[in-house]
């Protein structure tokens, strides 16, 4: 696992939280949807934001471009698989190719944060919180 994650003091914590977020998206994608009043196609924005957050979190946790590309491809494939599962395995959801496209676009947007100064925000925050406080 060394080299896979950024040099955190608690790498397992951050990887675990990211995995929990991915699991939450899986669960929320397969349970009956809550009765939320959304504008037409408003769920596409939800898909875009959810997958953008997941991939931006991967940028915070994972080290190396290759690992980020693999994680991004995995998230995009997960989004497609969940759309299939909604249509094939549930009676309260339906598959929607536009949702899969929104998921993939969200992954791309999240991965773009790797090109920004924010790419190591979590690492900097952890280091700041770990500093001894002077009195």
Give the model's pLDDT for residue 114.
98
* Dihedrals phi, psi of 74, to nearest 5 degrees: -65, -40
Q: Nearest Cα to 71, choosing from 119, 19, 16?
A: 19
CA dihedral for 87, 89, 82, 93, sign (positive or negative): positive
Within a domain: 50: yes
Q: Nearest Cα to 6, choosing from 75, 56, 15?
A: 15
Within a domain: 6: no
Question: Which 3 state secondary structure label does DSSP give 50?
Answer: helix
Calculate the CA 135 to chain-centre distance.
Answer: 39
Q: How many CB atoms lie within 10 A of CB 50?
A: 21
Number of domains the chain is built from? 1
Within a domain: 33: no
Within a domain: 92: yes
pLDDT by residue (tens digit) across 48-94?
Answer: 999 999 999 999 999 999 999 999 999 999 999 999 999 999 999 99
Q: How many CB atoms lie within 10 A of CB 99?
A: 24
pLDDT by residue (tens digit) across 84-121?
Answer: 999 999 999 999 999 999 999 999 999 999 999 999 99
Within a domain: 36: no
Within a domain: 73: yes
- Which residue range is the domain that position 100 belongs to? 43-116
């Amino acid at each position: 696992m060394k080299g896979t994650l950024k040099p955190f003091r608690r790498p397992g914590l951050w990887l675990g939280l990211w995995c929990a977020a991915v699991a939450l998206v899986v669960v929320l994608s397969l349970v009956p949807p809550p009765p939320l009043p959304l504008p037409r196609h408003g769920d596409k924005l939800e898909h875009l934001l959810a997958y953008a957050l997941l991939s931006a979190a991967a940028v915070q946790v994972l080290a190396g471009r290759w690992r980020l590309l693999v994680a991004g491809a995995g998230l995009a494939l997960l989004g497609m698989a969940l759309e299939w599962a909604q249509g094939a395995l549930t009676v309260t959801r339906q598959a929607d190719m536009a949702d899969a496209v929104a998921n993939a676009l969200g992954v791309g947007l999240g991965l773009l944060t790797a090109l920004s100064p924010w790419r190591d925000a979590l690492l900097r925050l952890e280091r700041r919180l770990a500093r001894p406080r002077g009195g």
